[in-house]
Amino acid sequence: MEYFDDLTFSEIDYSGKQLPLAEYDGCTFSDCDFSGTNLSGQRFSKCHFVRCNFSLAKLNQTSITEVSFKECKLLGLHFDHCHKLLFSANFTTCTLDHSSFYQLKMKGTTFENCSLREVDFTEAELSGSIFLGCDLSDAKFENTNLEKSDFTSAFQYIIDPEQNSIKGAKFSAVGLAGLLARYNIVIE
């Protein structure tokens, strides 16, 4: 396996191709297209992805450790297929619609100004996470640990307090309807 350290990759089209199997440490990828790319087995540690397109990329046993995604398109990704040990990432101004974080341990993850429509967070460990200005329309929370997470500026979420752990989580008064949706009550 090759090793790349502190390199910058810009404006490369990897779509539908195989990225060289390697460990990427501290690398920056900007304006790259990974759509439909098989990223299985790749190792990304302390990497930064800026304005990259990962739509429908394959992530089987991909290692993602201390990785930041900024202004990236991450549609339909199965992060739950990534290598689960040491998985950690943060997302800023990203589109993650239709992606899955099923059963992932990702304490303290920050999602800032992201579109998380129809994202599956079932059985994920998200305690201490921040959802700053995020659209959570039709996102699925079931048996999810959301303790001490911050939803004060998130919107369009429906979280059932009886099916999820929300002790110490923060919500705005405007978002309370999303916590009471199961009761079919009218809030004015």
CATH code for the domain of 145: 2.160.20.80
Question: What pLDDT score does 12 carry?
Answer: 95
Does 176 share its domain with 108? yes
Stretch among 9-18, 35-44, 47-56, 137-146 having the lowest mean pLDDT: 9-18
Does 29 share its domain with 55? yes
- Give me the domain span that covers residue 152: 101-188
Does 83 share its domain with 109? no
Does 161 share its domain with 134? yes
- Where among 73, 94, 115 does a domain terminate? 94
Question: Rg of the chain over CA atoms, in angstroms?
Answer: 17
Does 72 share its domain with 107? no
Does 88 share its domain with 128? no
Does 17 share its domain with 70? yes
Smallest CA-to-CA distance from 146 within 137, 157, 156 is with 157
Question: What pLDDT score does 185 carry?
Answer: 64
183 confidence band (pLDDT: 50, 70, 90): low
Is 90 exceeded by the pLDDT of residue 91?
yes
Does 117 share its domain with 175? yes
- Note whether 61 and 38 are within 8 A (CB): no
Partners of residue 91 on adjacent β-strands? 69, 111
Does 90 share its domain with 106? no
- The verdict on pTM exceeding 0.85 is yes
Does 123 share its domain with 85? no
The whole-number average pLDDT for the span 24-48 is 97
Is 80 exceeded by the pLDDT of residue 44?
yes
Whole-angstrom distance, CA of residue 77 vs CA of residue 53: 11
- Where among 70, 94, 118 does a domain terminate? 94
- Where among 57, 74, 94 does a domain terminate? 94
Whole-angstrom distance, CA of residue 126 vs CA of residue 72: 21
Does 110 share its domain with 87? no
Does 73 share its domain with 161? no
In the chain, the number of structural domains is: 2
Whole-angstrom distance, CA of residue 9 vs CA of residue 29: 5
